[in-house]
């Protein structure tokens, strides 16, 4: 099994965040399923996000995110790519891991600064 904690570049926050996302077409345009879905993420870092979902995803699916972040007035807007899909035991839900592929440095730094200020009980790994 891959040890994802050792591979991570950024600290991951395990506090709940509300995230809106939509699936994008393969060329990165909106429209696969128009509209935004809302999920509470399991963990979030400057490099990506992990969340549970009831629908099917494919590896390398493109996503667009709007993340309501406590230290910012406007949500963080970024794009990502699904890198891992795990089926939950005894459930129809799946766990989706997505890396951010398009996020500006200022927003990435804001997430990282927030994570740096948290105690170990609020971080993953």
Structural domain spans, the chain: 4-116
Can you name the CATH fold of 4-116? Answer: Thrombin, subunit H (2.40.10)
The string of pLDDT tens digits covering residues 31-72 is 556 689 999 999 999 999 999 998 778 899 999 999 988 888
Q: How confident is the model at residue 29 (pLDDT cuts 50, 70, 90)?
A: low
The arithmetic mean of pLDDT across residues 79-95, rounded, is 91
**pTM of the entire predicted model:** 0.85
**Nearest one of 46, 47, 44, 56 to 19, comparing CA atoms:** 44
The span from the CA of 13 to the CA of 18, in Å, is 13
């Amino acid at each position: 099994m891959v040890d994802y904690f050792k591979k991570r570049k950024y600290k991951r926050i395990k506090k709940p965040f509300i995230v809106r996302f939509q699936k994008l077409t393969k060329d990165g345009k909106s429209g696969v399923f128009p509209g935004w879905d809302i999920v509470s993420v399991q963990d979030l870092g400057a490099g990506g996000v992990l969340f549970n979902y009831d629908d099917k995803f494919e590896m390398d699916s493109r996503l667009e995110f709007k993340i309501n972040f406590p230290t910012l007035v406007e949500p963080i807007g970024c794009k990502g790519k699904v890198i891992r899909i795990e089926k939950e035991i005894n459930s129809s839900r799946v766990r989706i891991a997505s890396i951010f592929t398009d996020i500006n440095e200022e927003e990435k730094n804001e997430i990282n600064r927030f994570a740096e200020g948290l105690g170990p009980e609020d971080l993953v790994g």
